[in-house]
Structures are given as C-alpha cells and as structure tokens.
Structure 1
C-alpha cells in the first residue's frame, strides 16, 4: 500500500508540475490573443491579462480587410512547403553518403560543414552575392541560401548512424543499391527525425523575415511576415496622423500587432498535430532480431 501511495503522490506531483509548465508556456500566447480581441481603453490602461476585455474584432477586421493578405498567405504556404521539401531532399542526400566510413574525403567534408556553423560571410557579402546572381525579387533568394542547415544535417547523420548496419548489409545481400537501401530501409526507420527536421525547416521559413526584407521589394511577392510588417507600419503612421488631427483612433498598434501575430501563428500551429505521431521513440524496437 505504501508503495502504491508513493507512486500516486509522485504521479500527482508530476502532473501538477507539467500543468504549471503548460500554463507558463500558454500564458504569453493567451495574453496576445486577449490583446487582439480587446478594445482600446483596457489596452491603454493595462487591464488586459489573459482574457479579452470589452470584446472587439476591429483589429482582425483591419487584417482581413486587406485583400492582398490572403494572397500573401497563399504565397507563404506554397513557399514554406516547397522550401521544406527541397531542404529535406538535399539534407537527406547529403547525410546518407556521409555515414559511409569508406567515402573518400568524408572527414574533410565534415570539417567544412562544421566550419560553416561558426563562420559566415555576413549580411553584406551575402546580399552582394544574391544581387550578382540576379535573385533579388525572386523567391529563390529565400530558398537557396538556406537550403541545407549544417546543424540539422549533423542531427540526421547521427540518426542514420544509429540504425544498425546489419539492416543495410541485409539489403545489400538482397540486391538493393544504395538508393534502394536509403528509400526502403533507412527513411522508413528515420521518420521521427525526418518529421522533426521538416517541422524545423518549415517553422524557420514561415517565421523568416530579415531575408525577405533585404531581397524582396516587389509587393506582389511579399510573404506573410513582410506583409504584416507593412500593415503594422502603415497603421502606426495612420494612427499618428489621426492623433495629430485630434481624431478617434479605431485600432491601437498594440492590438493590430497582436492580431497579426495570431494570424501568422495559427497556420503553422495546425501542422503540429499532423506530425505529432512521429515524435515518438522506440520505432526501431524489434527491427533487428536474433
């Protein structure tokens, strides 16, 4: 009885601590949602905490009233999906050969990959390179420089190395080529790593802002983050002009910023449940017997 009681107390304490951690993680997002749904008076007085005060949807009306917003959303979704697919293809094609100890120049390649994690040319040389390649105002300027992340590549190499070599040897005995082994053996066992890195790539591209600010000046090619930035800046200038003219401000910049954050965050949050089933361990249990 004492052992069961101790286990119950331990489980209860764990649930309590985990619940507190979840609340701490959700509190900032709930505050942003509350600000986006509150009217100007409570926001200016600081009365908004985790729940909306004096419900107001004017900030979302301002966000959705811009017809180009949906176009930027569709462009960003397509860019994120294409970027993620290309990045994973390149990362997998680079990681698998680097797991082969018999590959000539493997150590040199690894040194060069690690070197790029600590040293880079900087913003100005990168911009000059993109401009000389005539990629300014092209979506390729948002894809090619970030096509392979060295840190994610090393993670995938480590995961591939953890797969028993006996599986690859068995595939070779059955007549599989290296490509066949990769597609039929390695990738199915690596779905947790592939799904996780795909999510990392997708989130990085979805939240990318600085490169879009540098390389994209055509309003028809504005991704969502840059479009929201333009919307907020225009709102701040309009509010300043209204204040100088002693007019009533309909939407505070704080409320518009909060609505923009929610608008840009919700789509990428929808992806998490679809990939959650891959974030598990032990998928390789039982893959090698005997």
Structure 2
C-alpha cells in the first residue's frame, strides 16, 4: 500500500521530534561522563565541553583513593538493594493482595490506614525514637527495614490484583488451593508487569538512599555507597572553599568529582533498567487505571 504524502510528512515529523527528545535525554548524561574524565584546569578555563581537549582520571583516582572502603560501600549498597527490594516486594504484594480480596473483613479500613500514611507522617523525632528503641541504630537493618512498604506501590499492585477475574480465584479454591498457593501460583504470575514496576521503584529507592545512613549509621563499615560519596563530595567542596586547608587543595578536581560520583551511582541502575523496561512501562500504565 502506497503511503500518502501527508502521512510520510507526519512520520518524518515524529522521527524528528523523537530524535530531539532522545538527544535531550542522552546529551546531559554524556556531558556528565565527559566532565568526569576532563582535566580540572581545562574545566576551569573552558567550562563543560562535549569534546574536552584534555582528559584526566584524577577525579576517579581521588574517589578510589581508599579502595577497600569504596568496595565495602558498594557491597553494602548492593546487599541492601537486593535484600530490601526482595522483602519490600514480598510485603507489599502480601498487603495489596489482602486488601484486594472482597471477603476480608475491614479491608477498606486497612486501605484507609495505608492511604493515610501517604498524606501524613509522625515527624523525624518520633520516627527516630521508634527506630532507636527497636535497636536498629548502627545496624544494617536500619538501611532497609524503615523503607519496606511504600503506600503508593501498595495501591498500584492492588489494582492489578483486583483486576484478576473472580472466576480464576474460585477455580483455584475448588481445586483445593489455599490462599498462599493461590497467591504465589496464580496471582503473582498474572501480575508480573506490576511486580516489575514496583521492583524498579524499590530498587531505585534503596540504591539512592543516603538519608537513613545519615540518621542511623555511625559505623563506617556500614556506610552505603551514596552516603560515602556524599561524605567525600562534602569534604572536597569544603576543602576547595576553605583557605585554611592544605596548600595543594587547589589541585583537587572538585567539578570532576561531582560528575564522577554521578557516574558511579547511576551506572548499575542503567544496566538493570533495559531488562525490565518493557514490564515497567506496561505495569505503570495498566496499574494506574485498573480497578
């Protein structure tokens, strides 16, 4: 079938717009990478450049100056991201499944309680008192237990569960399946797009979190990557802005370190995202409108 001239023009316009949007998303990240690999003097003289005239790895050398500490921080971040995401998805799905079942008594009140936490919280001081009384200070559990459940994710996955036909659930019951078997063998496989969506949300949340470490962790062996990089960056920025520091402080690649920290923190997520992108987009759209 021959395409009309107007349709060809429309497709050409779409390609042009999508190309611009792709460049708008790619160029900032590319600039971050190039600046992290640019000599500090070149940045001071020429500013940020897409094609720097002089490269340098000094920013990464500064960050990796204490390699064992850096590797330990990576280990902690990976541990809390994997373990925290697994537990968060499990607890979130169990709660969402419970309030999605019509036969559960007081399910609407439970849902209202969950929704209430989206609007209000008890404040930092009561939160810290509760966490400290639970013995989570200077404990690796403090890095993921307070973040186990997100109310928005609960309602997102609940909409998936509510959309599953009652006939399927009744058939499972007739076949002798209990609630747990129905949940793990029927409900979960039917809600994979939604699971992929909340999994990515939780992964990003755990990987990027530094606030819990700031509030609850004093042991340097338990510093996650984000908090360690924040400490390093704060130290460098203070050193470069203080006249009372060492004489060679001007040699510290402050701008390069800023960008290098971005590269080191966002890298693992970039490698994970393509594998669940298809499920993520589908799950986010459908989970928002179902139910």
TM-score by length of 2: 0.89
Instruction: From the superposition, tell whether residues 248 and 87 of structure 1 become closer, same or farther in structure 2 (CA, over 3 Å).
Output: closer
Structural mapping, 1:164-243, within 5 Å: 164-240=165-241
Return the alpha-carbon distance in structure 2 between the equivalents of residues 46 and 189 of structure 1. Answer: 55
Return the alpha-carbon distance in structure 2 between the equivalents of residues 199 and 4 of structure 1. Answer: 42
Indicate conservation of the 8 Å contact 1:196/1:279, yes or no: yes
The answer for unaligned runs of 5 or more in structure 2 is 284-291
Question: Is the partner of 1:49 in helix, strand or coil?
Answer: coil
Shift of 1:268: 1.6
- Please name the residue that 2:262 is paired with: 261
Return the alpha-carbon distance in structure 1 between the equivalents of residues 136 and 200 of structure 2. Answer: 26
- Please name the residue that 1:288 is paired with: none
Please list the CA deviations of residues 244-271 of structure 1 after superposition, one character each: whole Å capped at 9, or x if unmatched. 6654733321211111111111012111
- Please name the residue that 1:110 is paired with: 111
The answer for unaligned runs of 5 or more in structure 1 is 283-290
Indicate conservation of the 8 Å contact 1:30/1:51, yes or no: no
Aligned length: 282
- Please name the residue that 1:24 is paired with: 24
Please list the CA deviations of residues 191-236 of structure 1 after superposition, one character each: whole Å capped at 9, or x if unmatched. 1110110010010111011121111111111000111112122323
Indicate conservation of the 8 Å contact 2:200/2:280, yes or no: no
- Please name the residue that 2:41 is paired with: 41
Return the alpha-carbon distance in structure 1 between the equivalents of residues 13 and 155 of structure 2. Answer: 37
Instruction: From the superposition, tell whether residues 70 and 244 of structure 1 become closer, same or farther in structure 2 (CA, over 3 Å).
Output: closer
Instruction: From the superposition, tell whether residues 280 and 28 of structure 1 become closer, same or farther in structure 2 (CA, over 3 Å).
Output: closer
- Please name the residue that 2:12 is paired with: 12
Instruction: From the superposition, tell whether residues 120 and 98 of structure 1 become closer, same or farther in structure 2 (CA, over 3 Å).
Output: same
TM-score by length of 1: 0.90
Shift of 1:237: 4.2
Please list the CA deviations of residues 65-104 of structure 1 after superposition, one character each: whole Å capped at 9, or x if unmatched. 3221011001110110000000011001111111111210
Instruction: From the superposition, tell whether residues 190 and 52 of structure 1 become closer, same or farther in structure 2 (CA, over 3 Å).
Output: farther
Indicate conservation of the 8 Å contact 1:232/1:256, yes or no: yes
Return the alpha-carbon distance in structure 1 between the equivalents of residues 179 and 265 of structure 2. Answer: 41
Question: Is the partner of 1:121 in helix, strand or coil?
Answer: coil
- 1:143 to 2:144 alignment: yes
- Please name the residue that 1:287 is paired with: none
Structural mapping, 1:40-59, within 5 Å: 40-59=40-59
Instruction: From the superposition, tell whether residues 53 and 160 of structure 1 become closer, same or farther in structure 2 (CA, over 3 Å).
Output: farther
Shift of 1:165: 2.1
